[in-house]
Amino acid sequence: MKLWLKLMNQETTPTPKKRIFSGVQPTGNLTIGNYLGAIKNWTALQNDYECIYCVVNQHAITVRQDPAHLRRATYETLAVYLAAGLDPEKNTLFIQSHVPAHAELAWVLNCYTMFGELSRMTQFKDKSAKHADNINAGLFTYPVLMAADILLYQANLVPVGIDQKQHVELTRDIANRFNAIFPDTFTIPEPYLPRTGTKIASLQDPTKKMSKSDENENATVRILDDKDTIIRKFKRAVTDSDSVVRYGEEKPGISNLMTIYSCFTGKDFAEIEKEFDGKGYGDFKMAVGEACADALTPVRTRFQELMADKAYLESIAKAGAEHAAYIARKTLSKVYRKVGFVEFKA
Ligand code: TRP
């Protein structure tokens, strides 16, 4: 090759892609909050970033789970990743317990995380209030396992909902503390919050987050709900006594529906206000229901196909875990060396 051509090629060598890591707990029955706040946005990242997404089944057992249910929910979460459009050729998709380095690094990081820091985590406080009969040590050290998830892959960005931002900030603190003692060990990650749809609220109490575990079925729209169910839930959504479709703090119910409608249609709030100018809430709710149901129909169909093909899901999980384990091993060996663990000589 001619020298000038070589130089030109060197100059156009692309800089390595930034790495993204995130995870979803397999606690079943994902809602449109999980879909719009997380998984749907991830599909837009798959070309520009190196993306790694994990089904965090080890986090799930910090609250009691039925084993059969957990097993099924783990495959379901993987199937939702795929059905939502994450291409397994472009993204690494895997199950946390398949890569032992997560638990191994979590132990080391436990020794670099302070009791006081963990006590201040709002999710820990909320969950211990909710599960007062089972405030186990895993619930307390949950954020350390999450830090291990992220730091093992030297992730630059961590897409999460606003409720997980505090955990990513703790991850940064742990990484900085470790790096101050053992330089150049971890990449410091940043939380990556989506623009809209970060926080989809309950349809029955729009001041609360839409939660997978809400006891009132009308409060949540599930990714796998059928069209009739979706429309019925939107028709029953709690709004206010006014009748103007307008975005504003004093109208949390309508604002939430506008956010959902905006996420599914790509229209902004001004366009939506204009579209429903002079029309009542009934028309608006119907339109939101239709937009949501239409967008989710292909996802549900693909999900059902995937759930019927266990062998395929297993092959995706296996390939994902092999690739993840390769990256994770490198970080873990470095950490083991730095803290002074002697090498295992076979
Ligand atoms: N704690 C996150 C949640 O409940 C799930 C999670 C576990 C996660 N490990 C992670 C998210 C690592 C991002 C990165 O939503």
- How many whole angstroms separate alpha carbon 326 and alpha carbon 260? 39
pLDDT at 28: 75
Residue nearest to atom 14 of ligand 1 (CA): 22
What is the CATH architecture of 217-306?
Orthogonal Bundle (1.10)
| pLDDT per residue of the chain (346 residues) written in tens, 0 to 9 | 555 555 555 555 667 899 999 999 998 788 998 888 888 889 999 999 999 999 999 999 999 999 999 999 999 999 999 999 999 999 999 999 999 999 999 999 999 999 999 999 999 999 999 999 999 999 999 999 999 999 999 999 999 988 899 999 999 999 999 999 999 999 999 999 876 545 899 999 999 989 888 999 999 999 999 999 999 999 999 999 898 999 999 999 999 999 999 999 999 999 999 999 999 999 999 999 999 999 999 999 999 999 999 999 999 999 999 999 999 999 999 999 999 999 988 8
Does residue 10 come out as left (phi exceeding 0), alpha (psi in the -120 to 50 range) or beta? alpha
Do the Cβ atoms of 206 and 252 come closer than 8 Å?
Answer: yes
pLDDT at 316: 98
Buried b (16+ CB within 10 A) or exposed e, 304-342: eebbeeeeebeebbeebbeebbebbeebbeebbeeeeee
Phi/psi for 217 (5° steps) reads -60, -25
The secondary structure of residue 28, as a DSSP letter, is: S
Homologous superfamily of the 17-193+310-339 domain (CATH): HUPs (3.40.50.620)
Give the residue numbers marked as catalytic: 127, 209, 212
Which atom of ligand 1 lies at the shortest distance from residue 59's CA? 7
**Which of 118, 141, 145, 164 has most ligand 1 atoms within 8 Å of its beta carbon, as the pocket-test mutant?**
164
Phi/psi for 21 (5° steps) reads -135, 135
* pLDDT tens-place string over residues 268-293: 999 999 999 999 999 999 999 999 99
Does pTM top 0.95 for this prediction?
A: no
CATH 3.40.50.620-classified regions of the chain = 17-193+310-339
Do the Cβ atoms of 36 and 197 come closer than 8 Å?
Answer: yes
> How far is residue 67 CA from its own chain's centroid?
22
Ligand 1 center from residue 25 Cα (angstroms): 7
Tokens of 97: 């317990």
Ligand 1 center from residue 308 Cα (angstroms): 27
Do the Cβ atoms of 38 and 21 come closer than 8 Å?
Answer: no
**Which of 20, 56, 154, 209 has most ligand 1 atoms within 8 Å of its beta carbon, as the pocket-test mutant?**
56
Which atom of ligand 1 lies at the shortest distance from residue 146's CA? 9
pLDDT at 6: 55
pLDDT at 279: 94
pLDDT at 198: 58
pLDDT at 15: 77
Beta pairing partners, 185? none
CATH 1.10.240.10-classified regions of the chain = 217-306
Do the Cβ atoms of 173 and 121 come closer than 8 Å?
Answer: no
pLDDT at 196: 53
Q: Three-state DSSP class for 189?
A: coil
Tokens of 53: 């997404």
